[in-house]
Structure 1
Amino acid sequence: MTTDIVLTFATEGIDWAEAASVFERAPLGTREPDVLRRTFENSDLTCFAWDGARLVGIARALSDLTVHSVIYDLCMLPECQGKGLGTRMMEAMLERLGTPGVVLWSVPGKEPFYARLGFKPMLTAMARFEDPERSAAGGYISL
């Protein structure tokens, strides 16, 4: 299935309402299309997966392009999950980032997928959230 899917890396021409739908159906939560557009346009690397004219996956990263990168928002439609597309998108992003250090944000429960790609749990990462109770309820932090 993933061999028919094309990856692109530019934000031009993206239907942000469609991207917000992919984000929500993945499920990574809800983002307003304009907020999603701004986060992607302000990222150092973006990746979009297309099944013909249909957007089926999105991802983005911030990076100093030398030492460290952070990958955010790797998500795809549920019917595309478990078929190698996430691995393909991650490998394409890691190759383009080219940094020796990469941190990523994972949805709770997806850690085994990232472990297969060589990622290890961090022991010292910390986060500050606008709504810590909601983040704790979602399994992202402990209070």
Structure 2
Amino acid sequence: MSADIGLRFDTNGVDWAEAAAIFERAPLGTREPDTLRRTFENSDLTCFARDGERLVGIARALSDRTVQSVIYDLCMLPEYQGKGLGTRMMRAMLERLGTPSCVLWAVPGKEPFYARLGFHPMLTAMALSDDPEGAAARGYITL
């Protein structure tokens, strides 16, 4: 991993097929490039990590910029995981969001990463899903 990975906070020039490949390899599932583009373009904050010209990590957040934020889709290529890039991206996003409260969906098994950043498990969160059986099978919800 290059020491000079740059972070950008706009969607200009993003290759959405490349972003969708990162999403799949991370692995966070499959997203069509156009759907991924729309979700990022409609988000309040985006973060893209580039190693030179190569897109290696993506993340996004929704926020009221006053009280509450929600971080979604922090993901990076597997070869960049466990090397501090996710922490760097999260800290940069939390700083830019600046809200006293922030929640997120953690990929099952990744909770210790978020705990190191000060996040705590929620006891009362609820989810409405168009595929509850699939979400339960992936470990996101209980039925």
TM-score (norm 2): 0.99
- State the alpha-carbon separation in 2 of the partners of residues 65 and 13 from structure 1: 25
- State the alpha-carbon separation in 2 of the partners of residues 90 and 83 from structure 1: 13
| Identity percentage of aligned residues | 81
SS, match of residue 3 in structure 2: helix
- State the alpha-carbon separation in 1 of the partners of residues 21 and 9 from structure 2: 19
Partner of 2:118: 118
Give the C-alpha shift of residue 101 in structure 1. 0.2
In structure 2, the CA distance between the partners of 1:4 and 1:75, relative to structure 1 (3 Å rule), is same
Q: How many residues align?
A: 143
- State the alpha-carbon separation in 2 of the partners of residues 37 and 106 from structure 1: 21
- State the alpha-carbon separation in 2 of the partners of residues 131 and 23 from structure 1: 19
Partner of 1:18: 18
Give the C-alpha shift of residue 105 in structure 1. 1.0
Partner of 1:109: 109
Q: Deviations over 1:40-94 (max 9, x none)?
A: 0000000000000000000000000000000000000000000000000000000
Partner of 1:29: 29
- Give runs of aligned pairs for residues 35-46 of structure 1, distance below 5 A: 35-46=35-46
- Give runs of aligned pairs for residues 12-91 of structure 1, distance below 5 A: 12-91=12-91
Partner of 2:139: 139
Runs of 4+ in 1 over 6 A off after TM superposition: none
- State the alpha-carbon separation in 2 of the partners of residues 54 and 26 from structure 1: 15
In structure 2, the CA distance between the partners of 1:76 and 1:27, relative to structure 1 (3 Å rule), is same
CA contact under 8 A between 1:2 and 1:83: conserved in structure 2?
A: no
Q: Please give the root-mean-square deviation of Cα atoms over the aligned residues, in Å.
A: 0.7
In structure 2, the CA distance between the partners of 1:87 and 1:2, relative to structure 1 (3 Å rule), is farther
Instruction: Name structure 2 gaps, 5 residues minimum.
Output: none
TM-score (norm 1): 0.99
Q: Deviations over 1:18-56 (max 9, x none)?
A: 000000000000000000000000000000000000000
The amino acid that maps onto 1:123 is L
